[in-house]
Amino acid sequence: MIPELLRAQKNYFDTGDTKVVAFRKTALKRLKAELINRENDIIAALDKDFKKPAFESVLTETQVVLSELDLTIKNMMRWAKPKRVLPALLNFPSTDRLYSEPYGAVLIIAPWNYPYQLAMAPLIAAVAAGNTVILKPSELTTHTAALLNAIISTVFKPEHVCVVQGGVDVSTTLLAQKWDYIFFTGSVKVGKIVAKAAAEHLTPVTLELGGKNPCIIDASANIPLTAKRIVWGKFINAGQTCIAPDYVLIQASKKEAFYKAMQIEIEKAYTDTPKASHDFARIINQNNFERLSKMLANEHCIIGGATDAETYYIAPTLIDEPKLDSEVMKDEIFGPILPIISYEGISDLENIINRYAKPLALYVFSTNQTAAKKLITQFSFGGGCINDTVIHFVNHRLPFGGVGNSGIGAYHGQLSFDTFSHKKAVVKKANWLDLPVRYAPYTGKLKTVRTLLKWM
C-alpha cells in the first residue's frame, strides 16, 4: 500500500497543480475552515489521549496551528516569488534570482507529546511550498491520529496529502522508501534511525529532537517570579515538552528560598492535590510512566513524588541534589520531574552542562545582564530565554531547532516555507555585451582577473 501511495503522490507532483501557488493557497484556506470547525473535536481527542487540559490544548495546539495557517496564507505568495539578488561583477551584465522550488514527496513523522500541533505545523509549510505529503502521526495518541486522518481526508486528495497510521512496522516501511524530504520530530534515538534511512537515498532531513535542557538560576535572580515561570514551563503538558527545563542549576545560597517559592507556585497552579486538578495532564502510557517512576527510586523528593499507576499520574516533583550518574540525570526526563542541583561558581556549571550533548534549550534567570549574556554565549544550544522558559517557541520570526544531538535544521514562520523549498539559483546573462576576459587564451589576463575578483 505505502509504495503505491508514494508513487501516486510522485505522479501527482509531476502532473498536478501543486506547483501553482494559487492552488496551494486555496487548499490551505479549505484546511483552515475545517480546523476551525473541528477545534472542539481536537480538544476532546487530546483529552482522551492523555488528559490534556483544554486551556493547554488551545494555547499550545489549536491556536498555534491557526496562527501558522494565517501567517502562511497571508504571506505565501510573497515567499514563493522569485527573489532578485545582486549579480556578480564577473557576470556583468546579468540578472540573478533565487527560485523556491518544492522538493516533491515529503514524509512527516509527528510525535505524541504535541500530536496535533507538531503534525499540522510542518504539514502546512510543506503544502505551502508545493510538495505532496504523507503524514505519519504517533500511534500512542490514537484519538488525535484518527481525527487527523479524518480532517486530512476531508480537505485533500490522498495523492496530494494523506495520513498513514500504524506503529514501528509502518514507520520502518515508510523509511525504506525514497523520499524527496523527511521531517521528523521525536527522540534522539529514533532520530538517528531516521537519519540513517535518509542517508541511503541522500534524502535531506529536518530532525527536531531534544536533550537535557539546563535552567540556570544565579544569585541575583528574582526567586518568586523565577519559580512561577519555571512551574509553568516545566509542568505544562506534565513536563512532556522537548524544550521544558530538564534540570535546575541554582546558586547554593538561593536554594532554600527557591524550594519555598516552588511549593507556593505549584499549589497556586494545581492546588495541594495536583492529582485532582483538571489543569494537569497525565503521562502518555504505561512504558513512560514506569520509566519516569524508576527515576524517583532512592531520590530525595523535596516536593511531590506521588504516583498512580492506574491513571499514569506523576505529581509535579522536585528532586534535591541527585547524583550526576543517577537515573534521573542520565537522559532527557520528559516528565514532571525536576532535579535541583546547587552550584558555587562558573566552573561547576561548565562541568555539569558539558557532561551532556548540546541541548535543545537553555534558560538563565538573572537580573545581572552581563552575567546572563555571558552564559547565553558560553554554551551551545538550540534556543532559549533569559528570565523565562519555553516562550521563544511562539515567535515565528525566530528559528526553532536544535544543534548537534538536539537536532538538524529549523523551522517556524517563513523559515518553515524555506525548509520545504529548494533554493534554485538562476543567472540570466544579457547578450548585448560579452566580456572577453574569462575566455582562453589567458595570456596577459591574470592581473585583470585578480582585480575583478577583488570586487566580486
Q: Which positions are annotated as active-site residues?
A: 208, 242
Taking CA atoms, 147 is separated from 36, 64, 143, 171, in Å, by: 13, 17, 6, 19
Query: Three-state SS across 336-394?
Result: CEEEEEEECCHHHHHHHHCCCCCCCEEEEECCCHHHHHHHHHHCCCCEEEECCCCHHHH
Q: In 3D, which of 410, 437, 432 has the Cα closest to residue 125?
A: 410
Residue 32 and residue 74: Cα distance in Å, rounded?
A: 12
Residue 383 and residue 210: Cα distance in Å, rounded?
A: 11
Residue 75 and residue 416: Cα distance in Å, rounded?
A: 12
- Is the separation of the CB atoms in 336 and 314 below 8 Å? yes
CA dihedral 132, 196, 118, 233 (to 10 degrees): -160
Which amino acid makes up residue 381? F
Helices (H) and strands (E) in the chain, counts: 16, 20
Structure-block grid coordinates of residue 227: 519559580
Cis, peptide link before residue 93, omega less than 30° from 0: yes
Q: In 3D, which of 91, 10, 23 has the Cα closest to residue 425?
A: 91
Render the burial of 119-158: b for 16+ CB within 10 Å, e for the rest.
bbbbbbbbbbbbbbbbbbbbebbbbbbebbbebbeebbeb
Kindly write down the DSSP assignment for every residue of 147-195, as one continuous string: HHHHHHHHHS-TTTEEE---SHHHHHHHHTS--SEEEEES-HHHHHHHH
